[in-house]
Amino acid sequence: MTSTIPENLDTVKTALTAAATKWEHPTPTLVAVSKGQPGKKVETALKAGHRVFGENRVQEAEGKWGDLRPEFSDIELHLIGPLQTNKVKNAVALFDVIQTLDRPKLAKALAKEFERSGKTPGLFIQVNTGAEPQKAGILPEDLEGFYKECQGLGLTIMGLMCIPPVGEQPAMHFALLKKLAGELDLDQLSMGMSGDFEIAAGLGATHVRVGTAIFGPRG
Ligand SMILES: *Cc1c(COP(=O)(O)O)cnc(C)c1O
């Protein structure tokens, strides 16, 4: 028998707490990744009391969350996918946290929109820890410069986010992200997905992004 979404949430939370506690870290925030999942499944998670969700596309998120947000005022929505500058206005209006700040052009567009709208979602810088050419994110060697550029634009950065390369040991990348955050005095780390969130929690993640382990395969 397949388990239900509330059961999966419980299982993931228990495993998260166990992994974090073992290494004397606080339990990370569980960002339930609802991209590609129907609204019905999201409502099941909401009814089970979960409030923190991640989406990777602005348009999809607007469609799914536009109606639910007014109903559940304490929802916290994270953008975990790439953000095009022409979607910045909509993203700032909808999301509480944008985890994918990955280039100077986007930093400038966000700063401008923050000023215009008066709304200031939390920001994570996405770091390309594996230096993969096809992957978004700031290269580790460029991070300090980019961070200073963001500060110069008046942006407050909460922490760092990474997506390790497929087929590599994620622990190495999580440890690198933690080291980079420490060098900048940042204490928030978004790392770990369905396959490796316990490893991430053990290495000090403050946010894990878990989709399929909660909702099942994406449609
Ligand atoms: C889809 C996605 C996740 C969730 O992945 P699962 O393997 O389903 O847990 C996490 N982070 C990012 C950036 C994603 O795009």
Q: How far apart (Å, rounded) are the C-alpha atoms in residues 157 and 219?
A: 33
- Taking residue 198's Cβ as centre, other Cβ atoms within 10 Å add up to 18
Paired strand residues for 29:
207
Q: Largest alpha-carbon pair distance within the chain?
A: 54
Q: What pLDDT, on the 0 to 100 scale, is given for residue 217?
A: 94
Task: Say what the pLDDT of residue 65 is.
Answer: 93
Residues of the chain below pLDDT 70: 1
- Is this prediction's pTM over 0.85? yes
**Selection from 126, 199, 128, 197 nearest residue 159 by Cα:** 126
Our answer on whether the CB atom of 180 is closer than 6 Å to any ligand 1 atom is no
Span from the CA of 115 to the centroid of ligand 1 (angstroms): 30
Atom of ligand 1 nearest to the CA of 36: 1
Q: Ligand 1 center to residue 1 CA distance, Å? A: 24
The DSSP secondary-structure symbol of 138 reads: B
